[in-house]
Structure 1
Amino acid sequence: MTSVAPQIQTPGDEPVDFRLIEERAASVGHLFRERVAATPDAVAFQYAKVGAAADGSDEWVTATWSEVRDAVHEIGAGLVALGVGPEERVALASSTRYEWALADLGVMVAGAVTTTIYPTTIDDDVAFILGDSQSKVVFAEDADQVAKLRRIANSVPGVGKVVTFDPEAATGEDDWVISLDALMALGRSALERTPGLIDERIDALTPDRLATIIYTSGTTGRPKGVRLLHKSWTYEAAAVDAISVLREDDLQYLWLPLAHVFGKLLLTLPLQIGFPTAIDGRIDKIVDNLAVVKPTFMGAAPRIFEKAYNRVNMMMEEEGGVKLKLFRWATGVGREVSLLREQGKAPSGLLGFQHSLADKLVLSKVRERFGGRVRLFISGSAALNQDVARWFDSVGMLVGEGYGLTESSAATTVNRTSAYSYGTVGWPLPGTEIKVAEDGELLLRGDGIMDGYHNNPEATAEVLDADGWFHTGDIGEVNERGFFKITDRKKDLFKTSGGKYVAPSIIESTFKGLCPYVSQFVVHGADRNFVSALVTLDPEAIQGWADANGMGGKSYAEIVSSDEAHAMVQGYVDELNSGLNRWETIKKFTILDHDLTVDSGELTPSLKLKRKVVSERYKDMLDAHYAGA
């Protein structure tokens, strides 16, 4: 293991309520029980019944904490009735929806362990995850997930029952698949026989009991199962509560995949803090839902912020004239105010007057597109371009970028609402220790760190040392105010044939802040004599550009393969190159005739680039950049 520098912790002048961490609940089950007891009649969740309203639109339904408790206890008791014992595994294969939250809490109060599976996971990997975790029961979202499980049934003999959220999918000649309603009916019968069943299971839970196994997509070989204990989740929730970033009167909008550690954390925080959550995993409905739900905060991946930033700016470019000039003036004033706020100052005099006017005429109207009440976005899972983040702050919606991994139960560092620095991932959570190794790698220690990789002691030994330090594989640095900045993944850094190191994610993030039409920008150049890139253009954004450039009505492939599109991208690449070191500049690029997607396996469900997959899939195109060089 590499040698390390002195550890760095949260700045001492930050107000932190350490009692919340020291006196936190023993388990997620205890945390849920305490939340129900504290606010039984408060709204816990809002969720959409698709097309249920009289006009055919979605109908949003609410559920109180006591109503959630009744459903969760029935699910938990139903699992016990199926023979699920303490710390035995129950898998969840579903997109983000209300039933996912109920099922996960049902697993927690039954004393069992949730194993998460993305609904897009291929058959072979699902079979591996279920077998490796030894899952006894699987919650399956719909007929597609049930069909997948039936295809691999012979490979997973340990799965005794499949519970589907879709009653119509609970069909077949056998009783291997049952509906969620049927499971809850089993639970009601069990609770009638043993009223204290769930409380007994919760009482038996301890901080060091296993709560969750989340399988990460490995760059090579099989996924690795990250073992997270109950104390990891209760620590994360208490630590976030202790820094007062979120409040009980907040309203969360949750769309992130709950199979992802960030989504799972955002599902745990309400148990600690008490705010309600509007839950809907349909990515294409995010903007529409924000206007309806009117949340005060939301967690998201950088791609969501990039798309929203580009969409608003392109709409104003299309408006042109006085409206465009007013928009640019207002956001310029907002940027000046944002720079002051970052320093802990407030605008006064002429700037204060200009900002009030800009807010009334323009900035408040931009916020209305996001529901009008957002006070905080949290960005995670990949680097967010700081110009994009700054723009959101300029219109009055703070983006607090954070950092963490599956192995650290999501949050390790985060910018606060009271202290933040754009381009950084903030301060560590209280109770988490961080060391910076001599080679710049970040090392972490604390209750949020995983117990190890499931059934994989060799992989565990590679990243967890004898003193409990987790070696992240991320390169970072810390400034004089204690704010951390992640410069790249250690494995993603590459060296050109000229011996110069290049950090691709920084270049990629910078380009996304420059070009409003880009979707993905993939930097390449390991052991090559120069750096090149693969580019994809956003299908929605490029259509507006095409209309304005005489290509309206043409297909996406025709537009992006045109000389005009290449010249447009080249202009932004030139602008990018002007701010890079000579050895980092993009000498050649190819625009793909299609975007990268989750379904194609080129992006993770949290919209993070699968760099190795893309590099291998488009090897011929990348090689062509260097032919004859």
Structure 2
Amino acid sequence: MSAITTDMNEVRRLFDVPAYQLNTFPNAAMFVSKVDGAWIPMTTEEFVALTNQISKGLVALGVSVGERVALVSPNRVEWNILDIAIQQVGAIVVPVYPNISEHDYVYIFNDAGIRHAFVAGEELGNKIQGVISQIASLEKIFTFDQLEGFTNYKELITMGKDIPQNKISELKANVRNEDLATIIYTSGTTGNPKGVMLSHNNLLSNVLSCKFSIPADETSRVLTFLPVCHVYERMLHYLYMYCGSSIYFAESMDTIGPNIKEVRPHVFTAVPRLLEKVFDRIMLTGESLTGFKRKIFFWAISVAEQYHTGKLGLWYRIKLAIARKLVFSKWQEALGGEVKAIASGSAALQPRLAQIFLAAGIPVLEGYGLTETSPVISVNCLKKGIKIGTVGPLIDGVKVKIAEDGEILVKGPNVMMGYYNLPDKTAEAIDSQGWFHTGDIGTFEDGIFLKITDRKKEIFKTSGGKYIIPQAMENTFKESRFIEQIMVLGEGQKFPSALIVPAFPFVKEWANRKNIQIGTSNEEVAKNPDVIARIQKEVDRINEGYGSWEKIKKFALLPNEFGVETGELTPTLKFKRKIILEKYKKQVDEIYKDEHHE
């Protein structure tokens, strides 16, 4: 707690951050939303005034200190308004992913005892209305959109008009730095979600430590599109507010490209999956070039593949400068031309991708953390240094030790208060010395840079007793342009195998180039013998880097990508391995059928 009191004397609770911005560098464009084709700003003054009005409405509604209030919405300014307004009255914010299953909604709302829910629009309103009979505590649903049959959240302004401002000041004064601010339900890869309890201090300690690592200030424009209900993007929103940056909301995940060109952001956050898709699109463009342009494009890629973060020789620096001028400047332009940093988190980034983007003059800063650590533990940064293939140096105030079995243990002001209603799970996660057990396996490189090698629970043994580290292998295999997604499996089996989703746009482009008829639908492509043979060639090539017991001996091609909506991925895009194995049991059985008859 000490770091917060000395460095952020005015900012001791999360709701102090907007007031701090108002006093320090009031922003004419604190939040900027696109409405009917135009970017419309909201000033710091308007934001603070509106949060106070909503806080008064919450008091009039009867929201009590310590009450849990649900917030279910994609990114939009109303989310941030409610987040601050709920906290100001001493209530607890429970952010919920919009795209979870009805079963999870029912579980979370019942577990948290939700009385009031604030949701974006009709679809989410109807979804929760549809399960209201299974949630005894739920009294009222408010919507951000003006809709028939639902109460609009702005009605709170009218409800609270007679509540004096000093009532809100009194409630705010009673909230302490160490008090619970939010319960974030993590989308577990198995079982029901767990409610992670984070205090104001947990999140503020992370804001302060990450301010050093993220190049944002009061002149910065940032684009936000990752879900703000996820702790990573949410902590960064507080950080951007604390720095006085302007936060622009992308219209949707489909409009990120055009929105980036319009906003020309200095900073934005991304998940590796998104960066992979951006890179795939760039490579497809390269494939379509002809003659000299094509030669230059692929020469520039080969230069980038030799990039490292150590001292670069003169001849290499000359080649890199030419590659940046002729090829990579166009990549930078596609990202608005002013990007100072892309913060990457939530999953492992392919080292080759980090290498190419860094060589292209696009600093991708890979970090690491969990909801339970508010979230950041370490991050590559321009000031402390970058090492490709690692998740960077530890942030200030956070300690890490590597347990005997390789597990990463964390201690610091960012470690959660515990799991809501789950004292046993809390005791399992945080030991008697206060070390949080992450479940990730890692090492330190050069004594500074943390490197994640795998999830402890995902490492498995073959029937021969050999350990397989799937995540690291998956990342390597995904470097092939023919492979979109891959899940390595084989626990208790004689050999490892894989379920592979081909990179369909690239595979189709490859077939077209080679005049091979592979069909048009994904189903036809996945069954095509030429495609299977070509992907086998890729698997054989990558297998060469592995020991005999690790090599992927067989694989099955799948016609559809793993997705959140289809249940194979968590909202943070991690594999739900158990569900994938159940869903594709037929393909897995086919892979191992001969082994079971021996």
Q: Do Structure 1 and Structure 2 share a fold, with TM-score over 0.5?
A: yes
Within a 5 Å distance, the mapping from 1:477-496 to structure 2 comes to: 477-496=443-462
Within a 5 Å distance, the mapping from 1:442-461 to structure 2 comes to: 442-461=408-427
* Cα separation, partners in 2 of 1:182 and 1:355, compared to 1, 3 Å: same
Q: CA deviation at 1:198?
A: 3.0
**Alignment counterpart, residue 401 of structure 1, candidates 361, 366, 369:** 366
Tell me how far apart the structure 1 counterparts of residues 464 and 7 of structure 2 sit (CA, whole Å): 50
**1:361 aligns to what?**
326
**Alignment counterpart, residue 83 of structure 1, candidates 62, 65, 90:** 62
**1:293 aligns to what?**
263
Q: Is the 8 A contact 2:374 2:415 kept in 1?
A: yes
Q: CA deviation at 1:330?
A: 2.6
**1:619 aligns to what?**
585
Q: CA deviation at 1:184?
A: 3.1
**1:103 aligns to what?**
82
Answering whether residue 572 of structure 2 is matched by residue 606 of structure 1, we say: yes
Counterpart residue type for residue 323 of structure 2:
A
Q: Secondary structure at the match of 2:401?
A: strand
**Alignment counterpart, residue 163 of structure 1, candidates 129, 142, 149:** 142
**1:464 aligns to what?**
430
Counterpart residue type for residue 524 of structure 1:
L
* Cα separation, partners in 2 of 1:275 and 1:41, compared to 1, 3 Å: closer
Answering whether residue 16 of structure 2 is matched by residue 27 of structure 1, we say: no
**1:112 aligns to what?**
91
**Alignment counterpart, residue 555 of structure 1, candidates 521, 533, 540:** 521
Tell me how far apart the structure 2 counterparts of residues 18 and 181 of structure 1 sit (CA, whole Å): 34
Q: Is the 8 A contact 2:187 2:571 kept in 1?
A: no
**1:70 aligns to what?**
49
Tell me how far apart the structure 2 counterparts of residues 422 and 184 of structure 1 sit (CA, whole Å): 50
Q: Deviations over 1:561-591 (max 9, x none)?
A: 2112212211211121011121111111111
Task: Using the aligned pairs only, state the percent identity.
Answer: 36
Q: CA deviation at 1:451?
A: 0.6
Q: Is the 8 A contact 1:301 1:380 kept in 2?
A: yes
Answering whether residue 153 of structure 2 is matched by residue 180 of structure 1, we say: yes
Q: Secondary structure at the match of 1:238?
A: helix
* Cα separation, partners in 2 of 1:21 and 1:438, compared to 1, 3 Å: farther
Tell me how far apart the structure 1 counterparts of residues 498 and 15 of structure 2 sit (CA, whole Å): 48
Answering whether residue 95 of structure 2 is matched by residue 129 of structure 1, we say: no
* Cα separation, partners in 2 of 1:20 and 1:274, compared to 1, 3 Å: farther
Answering whether residue 277 of structure 2 is matched by residue 307 of structure 1, we say: yes
Tell me how far apart the structure 1 counterparts of residues 539 and 157 of structure 2 sit (CA, whole Å): 57
**1:13 aligns to what?**
none
Tell me how far apart the structure 2 counterparts of residues 43 and 124 of structure 1 sit (CA, whole Å): 39
Answering whether residue 523 of structure 2 is matched by residue 576 of structure 1, we say: no
Counterpart residue type for residue 258 of structure 1:
V
Tell me how far apart the structure 2 counterparts of residues 297 and 36 of structure 1 sit (CA, whole Å): 22
Counterpart residue type for residue 300 of structure 1:
A
Q: Secondary structure at the match of 2:154?
A: helix
Structure 1 length-normalised TM: 0.90
| RMSD, aligned CA | 2.0
Tell me how far apart the structure 2 counterparts of residues 182 and 541 of structure 1 sit (CA, whole Å): 51
Answering whether residue 232 of structure 2 is matched by residue 262 of structure 1, we say: yes
Q: Deviations over 1:126-164 (max 9, x none)?
A: 111111111221011111211122222222232222110
Q: Deviations over 1:56-104 (max 9, x none)?
A: xx32222221121122222222222211122211101112222222221
Structure 2 length-normalised TM: 0.94
Q: CA deviation at 1:316?
A: 0.5
Q: CA deviation at 1:537?
A: 2.5
Q: Secondary structure at the match of 2:115?
A: strand
**Alignment counterpart, residue 392 of structure 1, candidates 352, 357, 360:** 357
Within a 5 Å distance, the mapping from 1:135-154 to structure 2 comes to: 135-154=114-133
> Does 1 or 2 have the higher relative contact order (CA < 8 Å, sep 6+)?
1
**Alignment counterpart, residue 421 of structure 1, candidates 387, 411, 435:** 387
* Cα separation, partners in 2 of 1:18 and 1:196, compared to 1, 3 Å: closer
Q: CA deviation at 1:288?
A: 2.1
Q: Is the 8 A contact 2:442 2:450 kept in 1?
A: yes
Q: Is the 8 A contact 1:597 1:603 kept in 2?
A: yes
Answering whether residue 223 of structure 2 is matched by residue 223 of structure 1, we say: no
Q: Is the 8 A contact 2:4 2:201 kept in 1?
A: no
Q: CA deviation at 1:423?
A: 0.3
Q: Secondary structure at the match of 1:383?
A: coil
* Cα separation, partners in 2 of 1:201 and 1:582, compared to 1, 3 Å: same
Q: Is the 8 A contact 2:305 2:352 kept in 1?
A: no
* Cα separation, partners in 2 of 1:402 and 1:143, compared to 1, 3 Å: same
Q: CA deviation at 1:277?
A: 1.3
Answering whether residue 471 of structure 2 is matched by residue 505 of structure 1, we say: yes
* Cα separation, partners in 2 of 1:32 and 1:208, compared to 1, 3 Å: same
Q: Secondary structure at the match of 1:612?
A: helix
Q: CA deviation at 1:19?
A: 8.4
Q: CA deviation at 1:481?
A: 3.8
Tell me how far apart the structure 2 counterparts of residues 240 and 394 of structure 1 sit (CA, whole Å): 24
* Cα separation, partners in 2 of 1:271 and 1:365, compared to 1, 3 Å: same
Tell me how far apart the structure 2 counterparts of residues 482 and 261 of structure 1 sit (CA, whole Å): 25
Q: Secondary structure at the match of 1:475?
A: strand
Q: Secondary structure at the match of 2:258?
A: helix
Counterpart residue type for residue 624 of structure 1:
E
Q: Is the 8 A contact 2:518 2:528 kept in 1?
A: no
**1:382 aligns to what?**
347
Instruction: Please identify, of 222-231 and 318-327, the stretch whose mean Cα deviation from structure 2 is larger.
Output: 318-327
**2:486 aligns to what?**
521
**1:594 aligns to what?**
560
Q: Secondary structure at the match of 2:78?
A: helix
**1:43 aligns to what?**
29
* Cα separation, partners in 2 of 1:201 and 1:385, compared to 1, 3 Å: same
